[in-house]
């Protein structure tokens, strides 16, 4: 998971521009869910990203305006029991 995130054939978000935060998932799932930090929040700074081409930045900021906080898009994933599966799910949603 240290590689960048390929969004298109020409644009890859470098791993350094992605921020992940882990926390405990809520809801049913047994003892493992109660002690493991399996929920993932993946954040990407659309407004401040040096890798995002300017033509895409304006369009992305316009289309995602309702989901951004200070230009940052955050995606949460907690549907899987495993942290790795939630990390992959969050990255797929970001793409």
Distance CA 32, CA 40 (A): 16
Asked whether the whole model's pTM tops 0.75, one would answer yes
Instruction: Choose which CATH entry (3.40.309.10, 3.30.450.20, 3.90.25.10, 3.30.160.20) describes domain 17-23+37-94.
Output: 3.30.160.20
Take residue 57 and report the two structure tokens written for it. Answer: 């930045």
> Could you read off the pLDDT of 44-53 as tens digits, one per residue?
999 999 998 8
Domain boundaries, the chain: 17-23+37-94
The confidence score (pLDDT) of residue 24 equals 80
Residue 1 has pLDDT above 60, yes or no: no
Residues facing 20 on adjacent strands: 42
> Could you read off the pLDDT of 50-90 as tens digits, one per residue?
998 898 899 999 999 999 999 999 999 998 888 899 999 99
Residue 8 has pLDDT above 60, yes or no: yes
The residue with tokens 């659309």 is: 46
| Secondary structure (DSSP) of 22-54 | EEPPPSS--HHHHHS--EEEEEEETTT-SSS-H
**25, 33, 45, 82 from 1: Cα distances, Å:** 21, 22, 19, 15
Residue 33 has pLDDT above 80, yes or no: no
């Amino acid at each position: 998971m240290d590689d960048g995130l390929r969004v298109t054939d020409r644009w890859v978000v470098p791993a350094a521009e992605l921020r992940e935060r882990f926390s405990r998932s809520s809801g049913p799932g047994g003892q493992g869910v109660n002690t493991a930090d399996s929920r993932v929040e993946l954040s990407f700074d659309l407004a401040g990203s040096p890798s995002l081409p300017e033509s895409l930045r304006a369009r992305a900021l316009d289309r995602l305006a309702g989901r951004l906080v200070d230009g940052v898009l955050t995606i949460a994933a907690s549907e899987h029991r495993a942290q790795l599966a939630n990390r992959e799910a969050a990255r797929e949603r970001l793409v």
